[in-house]
Structure 1
Amino acid sequence: MNISLLHRLTPLAAVTLLVLSALPALAGTPLKVGYLPVTGHAKFFIAQDKGFFAAEGLDVELIQFHNSADGLSAIRAGQLDVGAFGTTAPLVHIAKGAEIQVIGGIMGQDAALITTAANADKVRKVTDLKGKKVATVRLASGDAVLRGALNQAGIDWKTEVEIFELKNPPAVIEAVKSGQVDAGLVWGPHDLRAEEQGLKVVIRSDELSPGHPCCRLTVSNASATDHPETWKHFLRAILKAEKFASENRPETVAIITKYLKLDAALIEKAYYSPHLDQSSDPNVKGVEEFWSTMQKSGFVESNKAIAPYINTEIYRLALFELTREEPKEAFWAKLWEIFNARDRS
Structure 2
Amino acid sequence: MLVITVALLLVMTGCANDKKENTAQKQGQLQSITIGLMPDVDSIPFIIAQEKGYFKEEGLNVTLKQFKSAMERDSALQSGNLDGAVSDMLAEAFAKKGGFDTVITSLTNGSYKLIANKNETAASVRDLQGKDVAISKNTIIEYVTDRIAAEGGLSANDLNKTVIPQIPARLEMLQNNKIAAATLPDPLATVAIKNGGHVINTSEQLGINPGVMIFTSKAVNDKEKEIQAMYRAYSKAVDYLAREPMDSYIDLVIEKTGFPKEIKGALVLPQYKKPTAPPKKEVDDVIAWLQARQLIDKKYEYTELVDTRFVR
TM-score, normalised on structure 2?
A: 0.80
Task: Report the equivalent of 1:168.
Answer: 166
- Cα distance, 1:228 vs. partner? 1.3
**CA displacement 1:289-326 (0-9 Å, x = unmatched):** 4424523652733322133321111223xxxxxxxxxx
Partner of 1:342: none
Q: Alignment identity in percent?
A: 18
| Residue in structure 2 matched with residue 85 of structure 1 by the alignment | 87
How far the C-alpha of 1:174 sits from its partner, in A, is: 2.5
Partner of 2:119: 118
Provide the rounded CA distance (Å) in 1 between the counterparts of 2:107 and 2:264: 20
> For residue 278 of structure 1, what is the amino acid of its counterpart?
Y
Aligned runs of 1:18-167 on 2, under 5 Å? 26-27=28-29, 29-108=31-110, 110-120=111-121, 122-125=122-125, 127-151=126-150, 155-157=154-156, 159-167=157-165
CA deviation string 1:255-286 (max 9, x = no partner): 313313557783464253xxx35223232336
Larger Rg: 2
Deviations, residues 231-257 of structure 1 (Å, cap 9, x unaligned): 111111111111111112243434313
1:42 maps to a residue whose letter is: I
Task: Return 298-307 or 79-88, whichever deviates more.
Answer: 298-307
Q: What's the Cα RMSD here?
A: 2.7
Give the Cα–Cα distance (whole angstroms) in 1 for the partners of residues 272 and 234 of structure 2: 11
Map of 1:291 onto structure 2: 286
Q: Secondary structure at the match of 2:267?
A: helix
Q: Which sections of structure 1, spanning at least 5 residues, go unmatched?
A: 1-23, 317-345
Q: Which residue of 1 aligns with 2:232?
A: 236
Which position in structure 1 is the counterpart of 2:10?
A: none
Bigger Cα displacement from structure 2, 185-194 vs 142-151: 142-151
Aligned partner of 2:113: which letter?
A: A
Task: Please list every run of at least 4 consecutive aligned residues from structure 1 whose deviation after the TM superposition is greater than 6 angstroms.
Answer: none
SS at match of 1:314: coil
Q: Aligned pair in 2 of structure 1 residues 293, 278: CA closer, same or farther (>3 Å)?
A: farther
Opposite residue 33 of structure 2, the aligned amino acid is L
1:187/1:286 Cα in 2 relative to 1: closer, same or farther (>3 Å)? farther
Instruction: Report the CA distance shift for 1:59/1:49 in structure 2 as closer, same or farther (over 3 A).
Output: same
What displacement does 1:137 show? 2.8
| Structure 1 equivalent of residue 179 of structure 2 | 181
The match for 1:338 is none
Residue number in structure 2 paired with 1:328: none
Give the count of matched residue pairs.
284
Separation (CA, whole Å) in 1 of partners of 2:154 and 2:104: 31
